[in-house]
Chain A
Amino acid sequence: MIRALYSAATGMAAQQTNVDNIANNLANANTAGFKSRRAQFHDLLYQSMVQPGTASGQQTIVPTGLQLGMGTRASSNEIIFTQGNFSQTSNPLDLVIQGNGFFQVLRPTGDIAYTRDGSFQLDKNGNLVTSSGDMVQPQITFPPNAQAINIATDGSVSYTLPGQTASQLAGQLQLAVFQNPAGLNSIGQNEYLATDASGDPIIGTPGSQQGAGTLLQGYTEQSNVSVVDEFINLITAQRAYEANSKVVKAADEMYQQVNNLSQ
């Protein structure tokens, strides 16, 4: 009886986590470069009342036994790295990665973080920075009078100076790829940190062997959250929560009847 109450409670807790996750995905439906997360659940341990495979007679064994489960738990919410849609902005500093790569940015703490949000800006010194001001690595600096900034699909950044026709090279963008991008650590502001689970970054120029992908100038990558899918998940999560609460109620009523047995 108490088992049923607690199993149902674990189910309710897991569905709450699920709704939390859906809420965050929906809240970020318009965040450029955002990757949705998907909650995963696992069943908990089983209490064996009758062990399967034990002898039930001299020649026979119990084929399945009696096992009572202890409920569920939210095990992980992995990041789904599918490509988001592109939206055209015509801003020369907006970049999209067509592939699995990440831009590298230098955080104020000195760590290198990784992002797919390519809506870059210039700081007062002419450095290419993210919208939160973190400098893109390797560093790319433009002179104040730079015009016609061009970023090629292979990541080479060039500009022209007024009165000149030949373009100048400002730098070369590089992309990082990970063996297991789902193991990256989200730190907010569309940035991720490498972890032991993600493996070390493999750095390469866009379009090279590593599968990092190529760059596209003048577009931003929209969030990969599918609002329809999230709403469907929300409905199933809500109904599962309801079903578990019904079990709590049933367990309570049955418990009450047991208490009424002695008159």
Chain B
Amino acid sequence: MDPLTIAAAGGLRARMETLDMLANNLANAGTNGFKSDHEFYNLYVSPEAQASDSPGTTTTTIPVIEKNWTDFSQGMLVRTDNKLDLALDGKGFFTAKGPSGPLYTRNGSFRLSPKGELTTADGYPLLTDDNKTIQSQSTSPLEIAKDGEVQQDGQVLGKLRLVEFPTAAPVDKVGNTYFQMTDPLSKPTPASSVKVEQGKIESSNVSAASSAGHLVKVMRQFEMLQKAINLSSQMNKSAVEEVAKVVS
């Protein structure tokens, strides 16, 4: 294939993946604590092309989505007046005890298990600073302070472990609004500037307006690339049919 078609086809594929990401963002516009994903385009340069440093040659580069980045910006806090709804104001995550290592989430719609343990909506117990769980002692409501300290009937039950991720540490989404750290060497650090708001919940940070704009952009770029492929095929066709015509 000629370089134009290759580059345009790479662009088409990248736009398709962008649409997949956009579809997932918009599908999760109602998911509490959800953080939207955005694409990061890059140019793919084949290893052979990278190796040849001969001057005067142009290498074909193909646009690809190399990675996505998660927009960790604050979602809107919605008042629910439910004592077990917690929202985080600022940078940080709650820590839950997952089946294979800690899970981090900003979805603060919590429950009490039948045994009185404070858990996430999926039943994973929340961890405290000293690696314990919060065990409710009676049926009185839990009072949670801005720094994550949980009290019941004036008695301290523990302090929720609030963490933040070091910059550039690899973080993975594992579904159900949980995040995981993929690199076993990097550890989350205690969150420094986060406030716990009881009776509120953080809604998804997907912006419908900017997503709609993005959608139009992706569709138009896709159309443009499709035109480019058609153009390239027409040029090939003319080259074969017109230029190489032998006048008899």
CB of A162 to closest CB in B, whole Å: 42
Q: Mark A60-102, 1 if CB is under 8 A from B, else 0.
A: 0111111111111001101010100000000000000000100
CB of B158 to closest CB in A, whole Å: 17
- Check B175 against A247 for contact (C-beta < 8 Å): no
- Check A251 against B138 for contact (C-beta < 8 Å): no
- Check B26 against A247 for contact (C-beta < 8 Å): yes
CA distance A45 to B175 in the complex (A): 5
Q: Which residues of B contact A70 (CB under 8 A)?
A: 24
Q: Which residues of B contact A173 (CB under 8 A)?
A: none
CA distance A76 to B40 in the complex (A): 34
CB of A13 to closest CB in B, whole Å: 9
CB of B108 to closest CB in A, whole Å: 11
Q: Mark B153-177, 1 if CB is under 8 A from A, else 0.
A: 0000000000000001111111111
Residue on A nearest B5 in the bound complex, by CB: A261
CB contacts under 8 Å to A, within B96-139, are 107, 109, 111-116, 121-122, 136, 138-139
- Check B171 against A253 for contact (C-beta < 8 Å): no
- Check A64 against B24 for contact (C-beta < 8 Å): no
Q: Which residue from A68, A198, A210 sits with its C-beta under 8 Å from B20?
A: A68
Is the contact region of chain A dominated by helix, strand, or loop, or is it mixed?
Answer: mixed
What is the total number of residues of chain A having a CB less than 8 Å from a CB of chain B?
Answer: 77
- Check B27 against A66 for contact (C-beta < 8 Å): no
CA distance A196 to B115 in the complex (A): 10
- Check B31 against A41 for contact (C-beta < 8 Å): yes
CA distance A100 to B142 in the complex (A): 13
Instruction: Please give me the 6 A-B residue pairs with the lowest Cβ-Cβ distance, nearest first.
Output: A11-B27, A69-B24, A199-B114, A52-B170, A7-B23, A4-B23
- Sample of 11 further A-B pairs with CB below 8 A, known A7-B23, A62-B67, A247-B19: A8-B27, A39-B30, A42-B176, A43-B34, A46-B174, A61-B183, A64-B70, A66-B66, A67-B68, A71-B24, A254-B219
